[in-house]
Amino acid sequence: MMGRGLFWRVYAASYDALWDTELTAIVARRVLEEAPGDLPVVEVGAGTGLITRELAAARRVIQACEPNAHMRAHLLAKGLKVDRVTSESIEDLRLPPGDYCVIAVNVLHLVADAPGCLERLLAITGPGGRVIAVVPTPQASVRSVARAQRVAGASTTRCLRFRAAHLLLGPLGMLAGLRPRCEALTPESLVDVVGGVQEIHLLGGVARVAAPARERGRKRPPL
């Protein structure tokens, strides 16, 4: 795919400057609240490790998976306390039978087959396990995420930088074949919305149900 390598190189290099914000920290804390204390944590699509860092500080993370070499290099450079880092994608991931808390933050809106990936996550999480998936809300856009970051305490400069960077990242991502969207998750698994831009979903053996209606009119979310 044209520009794929370039996109991921640029995205990995700029990711923490764009996303290492209080908004991300709030999402990580919310995810931790929903992660049952007795389940070993596996994170998929760990990226540069911003969520992994918060998970590993609080819980035993047995595996953090990140298929993209550029993103994984930044994750490894953080030297986080996780049992292992692997290059597995959701589609490749194999775990020994057992119950796990499998966490996917801002991943499912980027995969080619989100329903298939969700099914795969539910299959590996075990009968007493839990999947926690965070995806952009239908309303999330570059502008609304920048606003949510501002409300969560980011400086104006930082929010402007976020918006400016997406003027480049948006077209580069399109060239790389990314079409961010996620229709795989339904209101039945939705338990919370952070900053109006991030949906927290729980699925699996111990899933709870809460269902604010999903609104129509999805905008293109940031990558």
Ligand X SMILES: C[S@@+](CC[C@H](N)C(=O)[O-])C[C@H]1O[C@@H](n2cnc3c(N)ncnc32)[C@H](O)[C@@H]1O
Contact 163, 215 (CB under 8 A): no
DSSP string spanning 61-86? EEEEE---HHHHHHHHHTT---S-EE
Binding mask 193-212 for ligand X (x = CB under 6 A): --------------------
Binding mask 55-84 for ligand X (x = CB under 6 A): -----------xxx--x-------------
DSSP string spanning 110-124? TSS-HHHHHHHHHHH
- Selected binder of ligand X within 21, 63, 106, 144 (CB under 6 A): 106
Shortest approach of ligand X to residue 24 CB, angstroms?
6
Angle at 9 between CA 8 and CA 10, to 5 degrees: 90
- Selected binder of ligand X within 50, 101, 140, 148 (CB under 6 A): 50
What is the number of the residue whose Cβ is closest to ligand X?
47
Residue 101 found at the interface with ligand X (CB under 6 A): no
- Segment 140-169, which members bind ligand X (CB under 6 A)? none
Burial category of 211 from C-beta neighbours within 10 Å (exposed 0-12, middle 13-18, buried 19 and up): exposed
Shortest approach of ligand X to residue 213 CB, angstroms?
26
List the structure tokens of 53: 């860092």
